[in-house]
Amino acid sequence: MADKDIPKGGEFLLIPGEPAQCFTVEDLTDEHRMIKQTAYDFVRGEILPRMEELEKQNAELVRKLMAQAGELGLLGTDVPEEFGGLGLDKISTAVVTEAFGIAGAFAVVQGAHTGIGTLPIVYYGNNEQRAKYLPDLAAGTKIAAYGLTESGAGSDAVGGCRTKAVLSEDGKHYILNGEKIFITNGGWADVFVVFAKIDGEQFSAFIVERGFPGFSSGAEEKKMGIKGSSTTPLIFEDCQVPVENLLYEPGKGHHIALNVLNIGRYKLGAATVGSCKAVLDMAAKYAAERVQFGRPIIEFGAIREKLARMCCKAYMNESLNYRTVGLIDAALEGMDPNDPSYPDKASQTIREYNIECSISKVFGSEALDYIVDENVQIHGGYGFVGEYEAERCYRDSRINRIYEGTNEINRLLIPGELLKRAMKGKLALMPAAQKLQGEIMDYMPALVELPDEPLAYQAHMIEMCKKAVLFVAGVAAQKFMQKLAQEQEILLRVADMVIETFAMESGFLRARKALASQGEDKARIHLNLVAAYVDETIPRLHQIANEALAMCAEGDELRMLLIGLRKLLKYQPQNGIALRRAIADVVSDKGGYPLE
Ligand SMILES: Cc1cc2nc3c(=O)[nH]c(=O)nc-3n(C[C@H](O)[C@H](O)[C@H](O)COP(=O)(O)OP(=O)(O)OC[C@H]3O[C@@H](n4cnc5c(N)ncnc54)[C@H](O)[C@@H]3O)c2cc1C
């Protein structure tokens, strides 16, 4: 994509989606496919057969497997070549992350290590720090962790931080005191990126090594899921951190914390792409084998409909995640990693897509929760007992809605960022919302003429959803003005509309590409998945939008608003049941997720 063609973050709400601007999994290059295959082979060959042992928190085995992964290059896609990594694009990281996504707790170990553990040093380390730490981290001979959360600093990680750093009298060390909690890889890691306030004021990041005097990790948490990962407190008692281990600049820790979390969010989304598909495969396999009333349960409509819905979620999740990573990659293209300002520029660029990153995190974690839940249901009583994988997957999935920013915080970020950009004039949302309010009364849905091509109606409805987002957000902004930030229930509804619109459009653009490259027959599964998902989603969005408007007005004013909204989201139901039957046929034939 040329620079001018790359949509800005959040801009998808204002412009019609273009298939050429949407990266899809079908666009992976041969090199991406090779990396993906290597990662899946490693996970299937080395990790999955050892899941039982790994669930017992076998640190030695984890270390061995991490070193093996490092040897294959699977920990170094984001690390520059000169520091022992492969220095590849973000799509390469996404395909590796997708593959590790099927590895239960090991995915969390690998994800925290390569993401929040390593990336602060990649992006914010100076060359000495990068040369000292990155080669071992890329090789997997050392494990990384990220210490931000404290007992009083969870969602409010920066404001609530109490860990304090004070420069020693001789000026050689920062002396850290405080405690971090819930730190992934806490019990095993060798290198920790830790946040503390210098003199209790300047929020800053430090690289701490296990072995520094005054550092220790506490007892393992007893968790609901991801039991094979380590989660412990980190304790700093007059811990001596050499001054050269200050990461980036004093008082600029929030740049690191927030930007790295953005990356963590789309990486979490990518991991759920793998797990959504793998759990659907598990469900389809079990349903084909389990016989009741003399028939495999996969022959029952109730089960087929579940499989079809799971497949729709997995497809949208895959589509929107690769679209997001594709946008980031396109925006990063051409930047020179050796340019001293690269880290700042790159993290600024990734920040541009923080709305899309939050969407990836929220949609991915909730799609997976839906899929693991239905998988338990398809397994019946066997889904509830420990010897089947369905139970572990159900437990493991739950954490995704909590870390990397809870889904509430990520949802709130979406309208918050949109409004911020609108105020700064970076996104022309206000003029678009005002124009829409002027046009809406004259708009006649019955007169809209659509081209005679597959998904034309869905494409039209997705554009209408964008208008509905502008309409509702515009009305809410006018009504509450500066106080809108306090109206969280309305903001959450706007966020849901934004998330689902992005999801539907991502699936749609992918299906359009498949249609163009494969023809209607071969692209049929794409077309059905999109049509079925849109069919269920539009009425739900309409209801959400009604609720938001009802908080903004009453009486005649509300009636007029609801009439306007009805015009935008007037929807002719498709035969959703038939579409889902057709999808289930393909899932059943393929024994799981029907696409690559
Ligand atoms: C297994 C596990 C691994 C973890 N790994 C790491 C790690 O490696 N490094 C690290 O630093 N941290 C880690 N965490 C911590 C994790 O990031 C936090 O738990 C998370 O950010 C939420 O913080 P909290 O638990 O204090 O919840 P709180 O912030 O207390 O939130 C409680 C509830 O209130 C809601 N809430 C809070 N503020 C608002 C608001 N302003 N508006 C609306 N709702 C709000 C939240 O959404 C949530 O539903 C991990 C946690 C777990 C459980």
In tens, the pLDDT along 219-245 reads 999 999 999 999 999 999 999 999 999
Q: In terms of Cα–Cα distance, which of 268, 433, 432 is closest to 358?
A: 268
In tens, the pLDDT along 391-434 reads 999 999 999 999 999 999 999 999 999 999 999 999 999 899 98
Q: In terms of Cα–Cα distance, which of 339, 322, 342 is closest to 90?
A: 322
For ligand 1, atom 23: residue with the closest CA = 154
pTM for this model (two decimals): 0.97
Report the SS3 class of residue 238: strand
Neighbours of 89 (CB within 10 A): 19
Report the SS3 class of residue 563: helix
pLDDT at 4: 60
Q: What is the pLDDT along the chain (596 residues), one digit of tens a residue?
A: 555 679 999 999 999 999 999 999 999 999 999 999 999 999 999 999 999 999 999 999 999 999 999 999 999 999 999 999 999 999 999 999 999 999 999 999 999 999 999 999 999 999 999 999 999 999 999 999 999 999 999 999 999 999 999 999 999 999 999 999 999 999 999 999 999 999 999 999 999 999 999 999 999 999 999 999 999 999 999 999 999 999 999 999 999 998 898 999 999 999 999 999 999 999 999 999 999 999 999 999 999 999 999 999 999 999 999 999 999 999 998 888 778 888 778 888 899 999 999 999 999 999 999 999 999 999 999 999 987 899 999 999 999 999 999 999 999 999 999 999 999 999 999 899 989 988 888 888 777 889 999 999 999 999 999 999 999 999 999 999 989 999 999 999 999 999 999 999 999 999 999 999 999 999 999 999 999 999 999 999 999 999 999 999 999 999 999 999 999 999 999 999 999 999 999 999 999 999 97
188 lines ligand 1 (CB under 6 A): no
115 lines ligand 1 (CB under 6 A): no
* Gap from CA of 105 to ligand 1 centroid (Å): 19
* Gap from CA of 123 to ligand 1 centroid (Å): 24
Q: Which of 55, 352, 391, 404 is catalytic?
A: 404
* Gap from CA of 404 to ligand 1 centroid (Å): 8
149 lines ligand 1 (CB under 6 A): yes
> How far is C-alpha 483 from the chain's CA centre?
29
Known catalytic residue at 404:
yes
For ligand 1, atom 41: residue with the closest CA = 409
Q: Which residues contact 220 (CB under 8 A, 6 or more apart)?
A: 57, 187, 230, 231, 232
Q: Which atom of ligand 1 lies nearest, measured to the CA of 409?
A: 47
pLDDT at 443: 82
DSSP 389-455: HHHHHHHHHGGGGTSSS-HHHHHHHHHHHHHHHHHTTSSTHHHHHHHHHHHGGG--GGG----SSTT
Say if residues 55 and 392 touch (Cβ distance below 8 Å): yes
Phi (first) and psi of residue 551, to 5 degrees: -85, -10
CA angle at 29 for the pair 88 and 501, rounded to the nearest 5°:
90
* Gap from CA of 155 to ligand 1 centroid (Å): 5
Q: CA 68, CA 63: separation in Å to the nearest integer?
A: 9
Q: Which residue has the tokens 């923080």?
A: 354
To test the ligand 1 pocket, which listed residue (57, 118, 155, 268) has its Cβ within 8 A of the most ligand atoms? 155
pLDDT at 3: 56
231 lines ligand 1 (CB under 6 A): yes
Say if residues 208 and 215 touch (Cβ distance below 8 Å): yes
Length of the chain equals 596
For ligand 1, atom 31: residue with the closest CA = 155
Report the SS3 class of residue 298: helix
Q: CA 443, CA 478: separation in Å to the nearest integer?
A: 22
In tens, the pLDDT along 515-533 reads 999 999 999 999 999 999 9
Q: Which atom of ligand 1 lies nearest, measured to the CA of 403?
A: 17
* Gap from CA of 406 to ligand 1 centroid (Å): 6
* Gap from CA of 130 to ligand 1 centroid (Å): 29
158 lines ligand 1 (CB under 6 A): no
* Gap from CA of 89 to ligand 1 centroid (Å): 30
In tens, the pLDDT along 121-169 reads 999 999 999 999 999 999 999 999 999 999 999 999 999 999 999 999 9
Q: Which atom of ligand 1 lies nearest, measured to the CA of 151?
A: 26
Q: Please give the C-alpha separations between residue 136 and each of 74, 139, 191, in angstroms, as whole numbers.
A: 13, 5, 10
406 lines ligand 1 (CB under 6 A): yes
Domains of the chain with bracketed CATH: 3-143 (1.10.540.10), 146-247 (2.40.110.10), 253-408 (1.20.140.10), 415-590 (1.20.140.10)
305 lines ligand 1 (CB under 6 A): no
